[in-house]
Structure 1
Amino acid sequence: MAEDLIRPTRGGRTAGRPARAVLSPALRAWFGLVAALAALVVVVLGAVYAGDGEAGGVDARIAVDGVGSSWRRVALATDFLGEPLGAAVLVGAAVTGCLLLRWPRAAVLVVAGAGLAVGTTTLLKPLVGRTIHGHDNLSYPSGHTAFLTAFALTVALLATGRLGLGRTAGLSLVLAAALVAGAAMGWAQVALGAHYPTDALGGWCTALAVTPVTAWLVDTVADAGRPEPR
């Protein structure tokens, strides 16, 4: 990750320069707060629905009672983005773009952000023990929702840094991207009967809790290995 830390100068020498962070310093405090609140929601929902095997009161009020064939195709297409092949296509395209822009630490965040968000949901599911359609179908939190939210959040973070957006514009862009992606995938999961609405909310909050921390860690590790300017 040191390639984006140096630049050539006259005579073939290189000089240190500040590397472009994947988490803008102007947004770190705000996303630290977002991550903390999101983690709290994940824990609270997990405690409330631990061991349950049916929809709660909130789920029953906002559940989708089936969709028509056209909307089902939309839901299936959205669901595909969270499947291994669809996720690999999205991540691969984003990583390729980051490498073409010579921003290797951004490529690391794309992979690590999505991977850790999904990995966290995988670890939480047996701990919470909530099921849907039988005891073998662990449902909380939604891994599909966590993936697409984390991916959208990561891309928006990188766009914010690349475009040099300020705190207000950057925060608005990132949160809007996360909200749209999470709502779309959450709707698809509920419409297909794969998750309860609160499972989708838990997946969305998992991504909001994990991704900013991952971005901060990527910056910290990359900066720690940066050569000192002379």
Structure 2
Amino acid sequence: MKTVNLLLIALSLLSFSCHKDAKSVDSTKKKYLFLDVHNLEPGKVTFEAVMEAHKKDLATQGKYGVNFVKFWVDEAAGKVYCLSESPDSASVYKTHQDAHGLVPARVQPVSTGHESAMGANPTLFLDIHELGPGNVTAKAVAEAHAKDLAVQGKYNVNFINYWVDEKTGTVMCLSEAKDANSVINTHKEAHGLIPVEVHPVKQGQ
């Protein structure tokens, strides 16, 4: 009887300890913003297929403490961009891997600007600036973005938001515009920082 009682006590303590550890992981892990990039086969990616994969991400994300916010697809280029909140980049990668096996080529920690409302223009563009490690600060990008906002009306562009990876010097801007040249011309007149890529994208949540 004494052995049985000791075993029950030990099991009770073990159960309490595991429950406590699980709870502390959920409540104490801080989440950061990440933008990950998938380089898939050009012309063989559809928004509908990415939406199905995204649903699998949403079903799996809780396992890794990730929260997927939005995604964007350039079907012609085979590019997929996912915005998420996560404890770390590895958790984002593992969620994609576990959910559907389509792992990103890059997972970047980013800071974000203040999101503006979307307008009536249905065409979205995601433009990318590669300015180099050590050449970008969130403050400098905010100042450049303010200049974009001051000029955008001239080219019928509506900048919605931007994300900055200070470590790699990468800046991604989301906008509504009639074409890619309008986005480029706005940046060019506002501050002269021309994007290296401009992708027409469809957005999902």
Structure 2 length normalisation: TM-score?
0.20
Q: Which has the higher strand share?
A: 2
Q: Which has the higher helix share?
A: 1
* Greater radius of gyration (CA): 2
